[in-house]
Structure 1
């Protein structure tokens, strides 16, 4: 299987939003009422990513994974509010491609790109109840650092854990 990892282009944020919607709906199925996704369809996330990319494209980096021209995953990195850290803000894979190694490729690429932010470590936030994602990150060398927060996902407050990974 040949997968192309490439920097995002201006045409990518809308399809990224649609993929993000599919990924969240699958990954958070046991954590959120599925009805919360109905009012926040792929169009809403497409608009959100398009707007975010417009404002952050100079300071953040989006990498997309595609096979035969089909978008199958993406990652999004940038500077962090956490002192001394850069952040992996998003890593999502189309549910049909979960378990194929695409996520691992995107994580390795992100870890290779994060040092550009001149930080000693990388951080990310993961839903406390998302055991699959937690195992995935832990197998990639990420560890919880003890920081927690409660943040809304589809207007539902959910506990999150911060993970960290050394850079360089």
Structure 2
């Protein structure tokens, strides 16, 4: 895609079980678009939206307390983006900080304000829940996502983690943003 899309009006709401197929399609297409050249292509090509939807339904049914899935709908009611946040995970321990676990936008809607609406609602809800800061992990080489988060007030906090896909290192960088006043 070249150039920003025209802004679209979206409504952010909590996700329903029936949204899993569309959310999985957005997630898989998002990976295949955003991570091209950053991780093995055979891994991206093998991603299956139907298998992801099955896994997503199981995760949705047993989401831990405090984990919230949000979707963005366009004016026609089509789900065009998905975000998930909850308590920050430090291994198996949940901390007092919030974490943005995922944020994906239909690749055809990038630059139209969908991601900004989802991120803004996640930040608002985490601040309202009393979290002092929000953290997220982003692939070190994903410059588009890094710019997006930096424009939203997030910045790298110096923490990096190795991440491996099919034997290929894909480093991640942790970003943080204070919440509240």
The normalised TM-score by structure 2 is: 0.86
| 4+ long deviations beyond 3 Å | 152-157
> What residue number does 1:77 align with?
85
Q: Which moved more, 1:30-39 or 1:98-107?
A: 30-39
Among 11, 23, 41, which residue is 1:4 paired with? 11
Among 103, 121, 141, which residue is 2:153 paired with? 141
Q: Decide whether the 8 Å contact of 1:152 with 1:158 is kept in 2.
A: yes
The higher-RCO structure (CA 8 Å, 6+ apart) is: 2
Q: Decide whether the 8 Å contact of 1:74 with 1:92 is kept in 2.
A: yes
Distance 1:153 1:139, change over 3 A: farther
> 2:153 & 2:11 partners in 1: Cα distance?
24
Deviations 1:63-119 (A, max 9, x none): 101111211101100011244311000111000000111111111111001125432
Distance 1:120 1:57, change over 3 A: same
> 1:38 & 1:111 partners in 2: Cα distance?
32
The normalised TM-score by structure 1 is: 0.92
| Alignment map for 1:104-119 (pairs within 5 Å) | 104-119=116-131
Paired residues, number:
168
Q: Decide whether the 8 Å contact of 2:20 with 2:57 is kept in 1.
A: yes
> What residue number does 1:97 align with?
109
| Alignment map for 1:54-65 (pairs within 5 Å) | 54-56=61-63, 58-65=65-72
- Secondary structure at the residue paired with 1:76? strand
Q: CA RMSD in A?
A: 1.7
Unaligned 5+ segments in structure 1 are: none
